[in-house]
Amino acid sequence: MLVLFDVDKTLFLNSDPLMGQATTDAIKTVWGLKVPGDAIRGVNHPGQTATRIAREILRLEGLSDEEIDPRLARWCEEASVRYLELLDSADTSDWRAPEGTSEALSQIEHKALLTGNPELVARARMLRIGLAEFFPPGQGAFGCDAEERAELIDIARRRAGDWPRERTVAVGDTAADVAGARAAGIHVIGFGPDPALVEADAVIKGMDELPPALERLSAAT
């Protein structure tokens, strides 16, 4: 099976304020708007893509989609570059992946990232927590590829050689991960304590549970 991994709170457990700052800094650069540094808290952001979050912040500032759309791709570039600048001087010594993640990933042949993060952000985080080797470039889908998670799933499948839906599974920690997988017609395994994950095909509490959960799902399809 092709296993598509969410990043925030799935592979990457820490809260990271750098992306929030990069988001608002890039909005100022691209649209000339100075928004509060914590503006991201004003939108429903868990499980959402970076471009969707930026759009919602800008809508709250009174911008129309006609004013947002032409500059959104540039915003993605500016936010990614700004994030890397901030990361360069940040102390990330406490950043970590869930226990047993490397061992679980090493048992999965076909895997890729499926995240709302811009690609440079996701890959920088993977590098810092020692998981970059599992996710080579050219695979997966990211928050600047599309705004909706279901669209990201279709992009990731295409990049994997038009991998069949019935042999694809997403792994994530939010209701948005589950909803996106259902909308895209693929399987989904929930990770963590969120009660909304009950709608997933299976729910795991630790990464050591992932390989056997995948085996059971594969046998049932």
Residues 163 and 213 in one domain: yes
Cβ density class 182-206: b for 16+ within 10 Å, e for less: bebebbbbbbbebeebeebbbbbee
* The pLDDT value given to residue 140: 98
Of the residues 58, 88, 118, the one at which a domain ends: 88
What's residue 210's pLDDT? 98
Taking the CA atoms of 50, 56, 60 and 63 in sequence, report the sign of the dihedral they define: positive
Residue with tokens 């959104």: 72
Q: What is the pLDDT of residue 185?
A: 97
Do residues 7 and 64 both lie within one domain?
no
pLDDT at 76: 98
What string of pLDDT tens digits covers the 221 residues of the chain? 999 999 999 999 998 999 999 999 999 999 999 998 777 777 766 678 999 999 999 999 999 999 999 999 999 999 999 999 999 999 999 999 999 999 999 999 999 999 999 999 999 999 999 999 999 999 999 999 999 999 999 999 999 999 999 999 999 999 999 999 999 999 999 999 999 999 999 999 999 999 999 999 999 87
pLDDT confidence of residue 221:
79
3-state helix, strand, coil in the chain (%, to 5): 50, 10, 35
Are residue 32 and residue 139 in the same domain, yes or no?
A: no
Residue 2 contacts residue 111 (beta carbons within 8 Å): yes
* Cα distance between residue 112 and residue 13, in whole Å: 18
Domain that holds residue 73: 17-88
Together in a domain, 56 and 73:
yes
Does 10 share its domain with 22?
no
Residues 116 and 206 in one domain: yes
What tokens were used for 42?
């004003």
Q: Are residues 124 and 210 in the same domain?
A: yes
User: pLDDT for 62-92, tens place per residue?
Assistant: 999 999 999 999 999 999 999 999 999 999 9
> Which of 88, 108, 133 is the endpoint of a domain?
88
Residue 39's pLDDT is what? 75
Q: What is the token pair recorded at 70?
A: 């032409």
Helix (H) or strand (E) holding 112: strand 110-113
Separation of alpha carbons 6 and 114, rounded Å: 5
Say how far apart CA 86 and CA 83 lie, in whole Å: 5
Q: Are residues 9 and 114 in the same domain?
A: yes
Name the residue with tokens 């989609």. Answer: 65
Q: How far is 126 from 120, CA to CA, in rounded Å?
A: 10
Q: Are residues 76 and 165 in the same domain?
A: no
135 and 211 inside one domain: yes
Q: Are residues 106 and 133 in the same domain?
A: yes
Last residue of a domain, one of 32, 63, 88: 88
Residues 191 and 115 in one domain: yes
Domain count, the chain: 2
Residue 202 φ then ψ, to 5°: -155, 155
- Summarised one tens digit per residue, pLDDT across range 103-128 is 999 999 999 999 999 999 999 999 99
User: CA 207 to CA 104: how far, in whole Å?
Assistant: 6
